[in-house]
Amino acid sequence: MTAGEEVLAVSDLDVRYRSGFQAVSGVSLSLARNERLAVIGPNGAGKTSLVSAICGDLRRKASVTGDLRIEGRSVARRRPHVRARMGLGRTYQVAQVFPGMTVLEHLALARIARRRGVGRWLREVKSEFELTDAEAKVIDLLGLRKVLTQRVSQLGQGDLKLVELAATLCAEPQILLLDEPTAGMGSREAENVCEVIETIVALRPSLSIILIEHNMDVVFRVAQRAIVMHQGRVIADGTPDDVRADSEVRALYLGYHAGA
Amino acid sequence: MSRPVVPSRWWAHPGESLWVRMVLIVVVAGLYVAWIDNVGVNTGLGSVLMLIIPGALFALAMGVSYGWCGLVTFGQGAFFSMGGFTAALLREKELSPLSVVVLGGVVGGFAAWVFAALVLRRSTSLWFAMLTLAFGQFLFEYGNKSSHFGGPDGIAGIPRGSVFGQDLLMQWPFTIYSLIVATVVMLVLAVVYVSGFGMVGRAARLNSQRAEALGLNVVMIQVTMFGVSGAVAGVAGVLLAQQQSFFSTGYLGLQFAGAAIVAAMIGGVNSYWGPLIGFTILALAQNQLAGSTLGSVGWDLVLGVGVVIIVLLAPDGLMGGLDSARRSLGRRMTRRARVDRRRESSEPRAPEAVGEGS
Ligand SMILES: Nc1ncnc2c1ncn2[C@@H]1O[C@H](COP(=O)(O)OP(=O)(O)OP(=O)(O)O)[C@@H](O)[C@H]1O
Ligand SMILES: [Mg+2]
């Protein structure tokens, strides 16, 4: 496990929705182990489409062409759960949870997802169980201990994003794709999410992250590299500082988000 | 460490003491039926129970398909009929009724599993629902045309046989036999429900995209669960065929499946007991109405109104409604208790710890 080793490679990715709209055109990118890459760009630039295509979530909504490799193995034709088991884990712009289940049940699902073998299907899932050390760390980090036994339908949107993140982390991905983790949060909560990401990075040295984010403070704190998307294409790629200095980027995007 | 306080929801989540409960239910129901028979007050409970069990299991098969893994189905009558016709076609073979039950379950389950495996490979849940409908209708037409299945007149003379030396011809031995078969089915389903497999099935219904993105093989789970559902339907079909000594293609029709869907909805598709309870309530209500002047028009009316009420007031059915009522009651009571405690002592309370790391 050397740093700099490529864990995710996307080449020449096109995403064309069933409506005929081309949301991503010819995007290539490469993610190294332990690298944190931010994807920024105006609304509708195709950031979410890119991440969904990487995870295989668009199978029925769009035609996706181009090559996609996880740890060197091509996964372009693989179903989403296979990609997840090869190390992809994602969160969504609008939190995706299992309504009616408790937070603990979300962790139980992540546990089943994480484990191998037939036993995980057969073993009884109790409505209460003890957390493993790793799970307890995630839960405490995200401050979810108080709501463990609550159903997610009783939680607010901000907490739902945390529950979703907790479930994703407990599935122990190698490549974490975060779609606007701070959307709809105040600056204090966004600060908290930054700390969470930094702690996770410290806990899991081999984790790579792709972060879609509008909040430039978060980008500067978390990311080592940033790409800027516009109308489905990558228009800039470099360190966050380089990207900020780029005149085209300033004109197209950062102008509206200056100081955000 | 302090244990998390989780209200036990045994009606929704069959837990460890399930064995005891099941055995108790069978014993009590069996004794009651035997008592009624012997006392000679034939109120018809025995016969109602005997009639209810296959239908209730069939409603449960609907629940297992939709509630337990998110596959809407109109074609469960096909697997029910496969069970029924297994019994009908083997009527002259002098097999033990129990082995016919097992065989019917295997036939229904295997057919359902193959069907789901073929369809879900390529298509979405919506298409799946459509194709179950088409499949059921196809078998209905085919069964009526073909000479093997007795056409619309059906096949009569299906024997009940005897189990462990007990002749099942009389009403109460057969009722108890049905109860025991149903109990075994429920026990197997309880194991399915509480297992990781059952849990992932529910997750697939609630948000299949999220479940897949977590790394759970939703299609495999749905195919397997649909097989389980088909097996339950098959067993139910055998029980009905044995009980009536008769089976026909009529059970492939939409009306039969429709009634079971409504029953499952009324009871609560997602819960463990819901479909059974829903069907029992419907059957008893219909029994009551049959004697009244309302007649069959009244029955359809009751069904329609029942569905509308359920959809509007308790989308998760009676069991779901009961569960959420109990939860909100529990919350209110904890809140009150907390306020009381705070009044008693002015000390700041430590945040409740739930589930320590191990
Ligand atoms: N299911 C769909 N069918 C058709 N077009 C879609 C679909 N989903 C997204 N689009 C279009 O694709 C384009 C890119 O959408 P996408 O969600 O990837 O943008 P984004 O960069 O994530 O934007 P935002 O910052 O608002 O989240 C948008 O113009 C959008 O309207
Ligand atoms: Mg987006």
CA distances from B293 to A80, B259, B283, B299 (A): 57, 21, 17, 11
Cα–Cα distance for residue pair A205/B150, rounded to 1 Å: 69
Write a three-state SS string for B114-177.
HHHHHHHCCCCHHHHHHHHHHHHHHHHHHHHHCCCCCHHHCEECCCCCEECCEECCCHHHHHHH
CA B172 to chain A, closest CA, distance in angstroms equals 36
Q: Is the pLDDT of residue B25 over 90?
A: no
DSSP letters, A171-209, are T--SEEEEE-TTTT--HHHHHHHHHHHHHHHHH-TT-EE
CB B254 within 8 A of CB B165: no
Nearest-by-Cβ selection for A171 from B13, B197, B215: B215
CA distances from A23 to A18, A50, A183, B267 (A): 11, 8, 21, 45
Is B5 touching A (CB cutoff 8 A)? yes
- Find the residue in A nearest to B208 (Cα): A98
Cα–Cα distance for residue pair B245/B249, rounded to 1 Å: 14
CB contacts, 8 Å: B5 with chain A:
149
Percentage of residues of chain A with pLDDT beyond 70: 95
Cα–Cα distance for residue pair B54/B242, rounded to 1 Å: 10
Q: Is the pLDDT of residue B162 over 60?
A: yes
CB contacts, 8 Å: A100 with chain B:
206
Closest of A170, A232, A230 to residue A200, by C-alpha? A170
- Determine the residue among B214, B219, B334 to mutate to test chain A binding: the one whose Cβ has the most chain A Cβ atoms within 10 Å: B214
- Diameter of chain B measured on Cα atoms: 83
Determine, for residues A129 and B355 on separate chains, whether the beta-carbon distance falls below 8 Å. Answer: yes
Q: Is the pLDDT of residue B16 over 60?
A: no
Supply the pLDDT for residue B198.
92
Supply the pLDDT for residue B200.
95
Which is more confident, B168 or A89? A89
CB contacts, 8 Å: B194 with chain A:
124-126
Distance from the alpha carbon of residue A211 to the mean position of ligand 2, in angstroms: 11
Give the pLDDT mean for A237-248.
82
Nearest-by-Cβ selection for B216 from A109, A124, A132: A109
CB A76 within 8 A of CB A67: yes
CB pairs under 8 A between A and B: 133
Side-chain-side CA neighbours of A211 within 13 Å: the count stands at: 32
- Find the residue in A nearest to B212 (Cα): A81
Give the pLDDT mean for A20-37.
94
Nearest-by-Cβ selection for A113 from B9, B214, B351: B214
Supply the pLDDT for residue B335.
60
Q: Which ligand is nearest to the CA of A49?
A: 1
Residue B202 — φ and ψ, nearest 5°? -65, -40
Which is more confident, A256 or A222? A222
CB contacts, 8 Å: B6 with chain A:
102, 127-128, 149
Burial status of residue B24 (CB atoms within 10 A of its CB: 0-12, 13-18, 19 or more)? exposed
- Per the DSSP assignment, residues forming a β-bridge with A8 are A31, A70
Q: Which ligand is nearest to the CA of A50?
A: 1
CB B355 within 8 A of CB A129: yes
CB contacts, 8 Å: A79 with chain B:
212, 217, 219
Mean of the per-residue pLDDT values of chain B: 79
Closest C-alpha residue for ligand 1 atom 16: A46
CB under 6 Å to ligand 1: residues?
A: A 17, 19, 21, 23, 41, 43-49, 61, 93
| Across B170-174, B181-185, B250-254, B327-331, least confident range | B327-331
Q: Is the pLDDT of residue B225 over 70?
A: yes
Determine, for residues A127 and B351 on separate chains, whether the beta-carbon distance falls below 8 Å. Answer: no
Determine, for residues A112 and B355 on separate chains, whether the beta-carbon distance falls below 8 Å. Answer: no
Q: Which ligand is nearest to the CA of A214?
A: 1
Which is more confident, B28 or B168? B168
Give the pLDDT mean for A18-37.
94
CB B252 within 8 A of CB B78: yes
Rg of chain B over Cα atoms, rounded to whole angstroms, equals: 22
Determine, for residues A124 and B195 on separate chains, whether the beta-carbon distance falls below 8 Å. Answer: yes
pLDDT, tens digit (0-9, with 9 covering 90-100), for A45-95: 999 999 999 999 998 889 999 999 999 999 999 999 999 999 999 999 999
Supply the pLDDT for residue A1.
46
Closest C-alpha residue for ligand 1 atom 30: A44
Q: Report strand pairing: B246-247 vs B155-156.
A: antiparallel
Domains of chain B: which residue ranges? 15-290+297-329
Q: Is the pLDDT of residue B45 over 80?
A: no
Closest of B12, B42, B46, B11 to residue B32, by C-alpha? B46
Q: For chain A, positions 130-149, list CB contacts with chain B under 8 A.
A: 130-133, 135-137, 145-146, 148-149
DSSP letters, B33-50, are HHHHHHHT---SHHHHHH
Supply the pLDDT for residue A167.
95
CB B88 within 8 A of CB B82: no
- State both tokens at A114: 């994480």
Give the pLDDT mean for A7-12.
94
Confidence of residue B2 (pLDDT cuts 50, 70, 90): very low
Max avg pLDDT among A83-92, A140-149, B20-29, B269-278: A83-92
Number of neighbouring beta carbons within 10 Å of residue B246: 17
Which is more confident, B64 or A185? B64
Query: What DSSP designation does B251 have?
Result: G
Supply the pLDDT for residue A187.
83
Residue B292 — φ and ψ, nearest 5°? -85, 175
CA B15 to chain A, closest CA, distance in angstroms equals 8
Percentage of residues of chain B with pLDDT beyond 90: 30
Cα–Cα distance for residue pair B209/B220, rounded to 1 Å: 14
Q: Report strand pairing: A233-238 vs A36-40.
A: unpaired
Q: Report strand pairing: A62-70 vs A225-230.
A: unpaired
Supply the pLDDT for residue B78.
94
- State both tokens at A72: 């060197």
Cα–Cα distance for residue pair A168/A87, rounded to 1 Å: 11
CATH number of B15-290+297-329: 1.10.3470
Cα–Cα distance for residue pair A181/B104, rounded to 1 Å: 52
Number of neighbouring beta carbons within 10 Å of residue B299: 17
Q: Is the pLDDT of residue B315 over 80?
A: no
Query: What DSSP designation does B357 have?
Result: B
Distance from the alpha carbon of residue A9 to the mean position of ligand 2, in angstroms: 21
Distance from the alpha carbon of residue A45 to the mean position of ligand 2, in angstroms: 8
Asked if the ipTM is above 0.95, the reply is: no
| CA atoms B133, B135, B137, B143: torsion sign | negative
Supply the pLDDT for residue B290.
65
Query: What DSSP designation does A151 have?
Result: B
Closest of B80, B66, B121 to residue B255, by C-alpha? B80
CA A245 to chain B, closest CA, distance in angstroms equals 36
Amino acid at B107: V
Which is more confident, A27 or B335? A27
Determine, for residues A81 and B200 on separate chains, whether the beta-carbon distance falls below 8 Å. Answer: no
CB B136 within 8 A of CB B77: yes
Give the pLDDT mean for B56-74.
91
Closest of B238, B280, B245, B312 to residue B85, by C-alpha? B238
Determine, for residues B216 and A112 on separate chains, whether the beta-carbon distance falls below 8 Å. Answer: yes
Confidence of residue B352 (pLDDT cuts 50, 70, 90): very low
Distance from the alpha carbon of residue B139 to the mean position of ligand 2, in angstroms: 47
Distance from the alpha carbon of residue B50 to the mean position of ligand 2, in angstroms: 57
Cα–Cα distance for residue pair A106/A182, rounded to 1 Å: 21
CA B221 to chain A, closest CA, distance in angstroms equals 10
Burial status of residue A123 (CB atoms within 10 A of its CB: 0-12, 13-18, 19 or more)? middle
CB contacts, 8 Å: A113 with chain B:
214-216
Closest of B251, B107, B92, B108 to residue B158, by C-alpha? B92
CB contacts, 8 Å: A129 with chain B:
355
Supply the pLDDT for residue B298.
66
Residue A35 — φ and ψ, nearest 5°? -90, 145
Is B197 touching A (CB cutoff 8 A)? yes
- Per the DSSP assignment, residues forming a β-bridge with B187 are none
Confidence of residue A36 (pLDDT cuts 50, 70, 90): very high
pLDDT, tens digit (0-9, with 9 covering 90-100), for A149-191: 888 988 888 889 999 999 999 999 999 999 999 887 788 888 8
